[in-house]
Chains A and B, each alone.
Chain A
Amino acid sequence: MSAEPDKAAPVFAAGTAARLGLAACHACKQISAVDKHAHCPRCGSALHLRKPESLARCWAFLVAALALYIPANALPIMVTTSLGDTQSNTIMSGIIVLWGDGSWGLALIVFIASMVVPLGKILALAVLLFSVQRRPLGGPRQLSRLYHLVELVGKWSMLDVYVVTLLTAVVRFDAFMSVHVGNGALAFGGVVVMTMLSAQAFDPRLVWDTAPDVDKELARRPSRNREARNDV
């Protein structure tokens, strides 16, 4: 077989595995030819050059996350009853209470985990989708890094769900003091799961596939590539 650019498949940039009809298994990294194998010959995972329906699935989860984001912030996530006095807290008012109590450090952590991370994730995924579908809002290297960040911080938004669950579990002194979960917690948990699924559906390789001068990007470090390739 020749490694000359295949004219039937001009979509993929030179040097990529997809250009040669090869895919690395997403579970075990084994490299196989996709025309011969529908599933990884080693571990049996489905093989694709790119994640199937990546953009549509990413959008679907993202829209679901955005829809859930409204009740997640508007509805109380925690209802505290103390000697007949009932107090409802949303995510934001919970942070303000924590701040008012003097726990600034923790208030900041919860603020980042519950406000900055979910909103930032939704925005970042929208930027990535827009970059791939319309025009790049940054270089492929920057966009790759953005995606990496989204994957890294994703699960930290679960923080508030855990806090509410733990408080509900131990604060059960009937009329004196008790904590109940609000419906906001359900919506908020939904936001976390939906943004995680959206990020998993996105295929970061699309950023490089659609980069305008990906070949120039590749040529930027010819020495390193050649060195790496000949270093057998």
Chain B
Amino acid sequence: MDQGGRSEDSHDKTHAQAGMIVCNECDLLQQAAVLPRGGSLLCARCDAPLRSWVAQDLDRPLALALAAAMSFLIGNVFPVMTLEFQAQRINGSMLGAVWQMHMQGETVVGLLVLATAVLAPAALISLLLWLLLPLRFGFRAPFFAPLFRLLMAVSSWAMVEVLMVGVVVSLVKLGHDATATVGIGLWAYGATMLLLTLLSSSLQGEVIWAQHERVMGVRPLAGVPDAEVLS
């Protein structure tokens, strides 16, 4: 039975990676070759990257998303940096910083920071968990398709890595006048940044849908009949 399961898996792999693919940059319709482990596919016309090899199961992305959820939670609970000046201590957390912007009347700037540094990564991580966790155990999460679209829309607005550099610049700017120390929140944000980077290179939307089709027991949509293109 184990043997059977394995061969089914490998069939899934070839199926998901073969077929037709359209280049995002130049719209060329082409046959996608089966990728070897670690390989990547370039467009035949414009050399834009089409797709890279990723594992077709959800174990690795799920583990990364769970770890990212924890580190991101810690990053938002604890201060990112602490400033000491003449026996006073001020802790700066991300949510506290957003609130401070609001108190100064720059609510819009605060909201921009809230959206890009807190809400977008939070949405990214929680949507991934919402979609992948049930799929991994053979269920389909409610609102699967609309939330998948939300995931795709939200992913370009998460800017955790920019925030990390921002913290470094702030610490240097503060260095002269006061004693600035790095908080637990910063390390947790750094871990979140690394985990999100690993996530983006180990998961593709197509894999989510291949797994969805497997769980729902439906045949993948035909897409393009080969004859139409190759004749």
A interface residue numbers (CB < 8 A to B) = 1-3, 12, 15-18, 20, 22-24, 26-32, 41-45, 82, 98, 101, 103, 106, 109-110, 113, 140-141, 144, 147-148, 155-156, 158-173, 176-177, 180-181, 185-186, 189, 193, 196, 200, 204-205, 207-209, 217-218, 221, 224-225, 228-232
Known: A30-B209, A177-B178. A156 touches B223 (CB 8 A): no
Give the complex CA separation of A137 and B159 in angstroms: 32
Chain A neighbourhood of B96, CB < 8 A: 169
Interface status of B70 (Cβ within 8 A of chain A): no
User: Could you give 25 example pairs across A and B, Cβ below 8 Å?
Assistant: A3-B228, A15-B45, A17-B28, A28-B209, A31-B20, A42-B145, A44-B149, A140-B46, A155-B159, A156-B162, A158-B116, A160-B166, A162-B113, A166-B81, A166-B167, A169-B90, A170-B82, A170-B91, A171-B174, A173-B85, A177-B177, A180-B104, A200-B156, A208-B46, A228-B33
Would you call B44 and A225 a contact (CB within 8 A)?
A: yes
Which A-chain residue is minimally distant from B106 (CB atoms)? A181
Q: How far is the CB of A25 from chain B (nearest CB, A)?
A: 9
Give the complex CA separation of A64 and B221 in angstroms: 41
Would you call B81 and A22 a contact (CB within 8 A)?
A: no
Give the complex CA separation of A42 and B31 in angstroms: 20
Chain B neighbourhood of A180, CB < 8 A: 104
Interface status of B9 (Cβ within 8 A of chain A): no
Interface status of B63 (Cβ within 8 A of chain A): no
Our pick among B86, B166, B172 for the contact of A162 (Cβ within 8 Å) is B166
Nearest 8 interchain pairs by C-beta: A162-B166, A169-B97, A24-B22, A170-B92, A208-B26, A169-B92, A16-B27, A170-B83
B interface residue numbers (CB < 8 A to A) = 18, 20-22, 24-31, 33, 44-48, 80-83, 85-86, 88, 90-93, 96-98, 100-101, 104, 106, 108-110, 112-113, 116-117, 145-146, 148-149, 152-153, 156-157, 159, 162-163, 165-170, 172-174, 176-178, 180, 205-206, 208-209, 221, 223-224, 226, 228-231
Q: How far is the CB of B21 from chain A (nearest CB, A)?
A: 7
Chain B neighbourhood of A189, CB < 8 A: 108-109, 112
Most buried by B among A23, A29, A221: A29
Which A-chain residue is minimally distant from B26 (CB atoms)? A208
Would you call A177 and B109 a contact (CB within 8 A)?
A: no
Would you call B27 and A18 a contact (CB within 8 A)?
A: yes
Q: How far is the CB of B200 from chain A (nearest CB, A)?
A: 13
Q: How far is the CB of A119 from chain B (nearest CB, A)?
A: 18
Known: A42-B209, A165-B98, A177-B178. A140 touches B166 (CB 8 A): no
Chain B neighbourhood of A169, CB < 8 A: 90, 92-93, 96-97, 100-101
Chain B neighbourhood of A98, CB < 8 A: 169, 172-173
Chain A neighbourhood of B22, CB < 8 A: 17, 22-24, 29, 31
Would you call A12 and B44 a contact (CB within 8 A)?
A: no
Our pick among B27, B92, B231 for the contact of A208 (Cβ within 8 Å) is B27
Give the complex CA separation of A232 and B116 in angstroms: 43
Give the complex CA separation of A161 and B48 in angstroms: 32
